[in-house]
Amino acid sequence: MLLAEITTAAGLPAGVLNIVHGSRHHRAPGTQARDALIAHPAVTRLWFEGDAGDGQQVMLDAAVHRKNLAAELTGTSPCLVFADADLEQATDAALFGAFALNGQRCTATSAILAQRPVYDDIVSRLAKRADHIRVGAPSDPSTEIGPLVDAEHYNSVSTSVRAAVRDGARMAAGGRRPAALPEGNYFEATVLSGVTPSMQIFAEHLYGPVLRVTPFETEEEAVSLASAFKDAPAAYIWTGDAQRAHRLAPALDAADTWVNSHNPQDLAAPSTGPGGAGPGIRRELGGIDFYTQSWAVHIAVDDSPVPRIGD
C-alpha cells in the first residue's frame, strides 16, 4: 500500500498500478481475485508467487485460459555448512536468512545441514544469537522480527514446532510467544536441533521464524538430505573448498545456489536452476523478458526482386 501511495505521489497515471487485497486461504477473497485475474480476457500475462501446490493449480488454470505464466514458488531452502567453512560468516548468514522478514520469504535459510564436526558449535552459535533477536512491532525501529501474517498462520507455525518437539527435536531457542507481547501474532526466533529426515518438520515449509538444524557426515549424505527439499527456491553452500562447491552446486535441486554468501543478486537476472517452480512454469525474477513483447518486422532496404509467376 505504501508503494501505491509513493507511485501516485510520483505521478504514475491512475490504473497503472492496482493493489487488490486478499487472503492466501482458499475460502477467502484472495482466491477469488486470483481466479478473476486468470480468467479475465484483458490479462495476458500472469506472475504468481506463493506455495508450490497453489502454483500447480495456477499453472493448470492459466493453461486453460491460454495465459503466459511466470512464477516464483516458495519452498524450504537447505543451507549446507561444512567443517572447513567460516563459521562466523555462516552463522551470520543463516540467522539473517532464516529470520529476516520474519522468515516469511521464499529463500529463507530455514533448514541448516551442518557437518558433524561443527554441528554442536553451529547449534550453540545459532541458539545464543537467536535468543537476542528482538521481536516487536514493525513500527519500532529496534524490531528485528515482527508478527506473522495472521492468527491462522501463527497457530500453524506454533503447532508444527510443538509437533517437532514431540517427535524428538530439541528446542535450542525460542519456540513460543514472547512474554512481553501477550497479544498479536508474534513468535520468537526459534532454533530446533536434532531434526531428522523422519520428522514432518524436516522438509516442511513453515514460512516463519523457525530454523532447523540437522547433522551430516559426508558430502554424499549432505546431498541426499538436501534432495528431500522439493521445489527449493534456493540452496546455500558454506565451505572453504572451491572444488567441493563446484561439485555440489549442480547436484542441488534449487532455482538459485549461493556459495559462501547469504543471497545478494541482480534482481533483473532470471532464476535458471532446476528447482523452485516445477515443470512447465517459467521462472523470472526481474521479468524483463517476460513482460516484453517481440515482433519480427522485415523491411526491404533496397530493391528486392520478386520472382514472377503466371506471365
The set of residues, in sequence order, having a beta carbon less than 8 Å from that of 53 and lying 6+ positions away, is none
Indicate which residue of 79, 88, 106, 217 is catalytic.
Answer: 106
Q: Which residue has the cell 537476542?
A: 132
The set of residues, in sequence order, having a beta carbon less than 8 Å from that of 194 and lying 6+ positions away, is 168, 169, 170, 213
Q: Distances in Å between the alpha carbon of 298 and those of 76, 187, 294, 302, 308?
A: 48, 61, 13, 12, 20
CA torsion, ordered 146, 111, 249, 244, to nearest 10 deg = 120
Using an 8 Å Cβ cutoff, are 261 and 238 in contact? no
Query: What's the rounded Cα separation, in Å, for the pair 144 and 22?
Result: 26
Active site residue 106: yes
Q: Distances in Å between the alpha carbon of 188 and those of 84, 91, 99, 149, 199?
A: 30, 18, 10, 14, 21
DSSP letters spanning 62-81? HHHTT-EEEEEEE---EEEE
Query: What's the rounded Cα separation, in Å, for the pair 35 and 24?
Result: 12
What positions carry a catalytic annotation? 72, 106
